[in-house]
Amino acid sequence: MQIVDLGTMRYCDAWAAQERAHEEVLAGGEERILLVEHPPVITFGRRGRIEANVIAREEQLARMGVEVVHSDRGGDVTFHGPGQVVAYPIVRLAEHRLSVGCYVRKLELAMIAALAEFGISARKDDAGIGVWVDVPGGGAAKIGALGVRIRRGISLHGIALNVDTDLSYFDLIVPCGLAGGRVTSMRELLGDRTPPMDAARSIVAQQIAHAIQNGESCIPSPLGTGAREDDSLL
């Protein structure tokens, strides 16, 4: 599985890179994990509602240089920006005997394992997709978001893990459509022990590759290359 670091790239340009990679993997090419940091951007999944979950006005977003993009991934609204590890695995699910639900669990577990390597205990939440941590003072906060699309049996989009992200950007939205939901980062939890971005990217990519290629397999369903285009949205 090839790991490709795209550096810093606008969301739409990285989306185009995903589409090219998807075509190559569909044609039998090597699977890959695309790593990227995005300039500030708010993205919506297929079911996201801009009027409900963006708090900031259009002129404020323009003044702050924040793009707004409607994506074809699953999930609702989220923010991407500098200091965040974004990973887009482009993999053939049937080849790894994975259902969509199993694939999503593996991405969550990969983020949890990556955080553990840096001394952060994280967990899944049965009430929603993503990765959560307990925060000082009580309560939980989301540190890793997830939204995927499966087209013709091959994955697109993926995960975003907050490493050294400016969390004030999340005040512009209702993250993932969860009113009152708190967001945190490795910087907020670790302070000066926060890893450099290149170290965080490397560990996240390794854990995603390991999770997909090893451990639990689940078979169900029509996830071969003959699946309908919109069969597998989350």
Give the gyration radius of the chain's Cα atoms. 17
* 218 in catalytic set: no
d(CA 95, CA 30): 12
Q: And the tokens for 104?
A: 């999503």
In angstroms, rounded to a whole number, what is the distance separating the alpha carbons of residues 121 and 132? 9
Cα distance between the two ends of the chain: 24
Measuring CA to CA, which residue among 51, 93, 55, 47 is closest to residue 72?
A: 47
Q: Which one from 12, 102, 176, 218 is the annotated catalytic residue?
A: 176
Q: Which of 29, 52, 18, 56 is nearest to 170 (CA)?
A: 56
User: Which residues participate in catalysis according to the annotation?
Assistant: 176
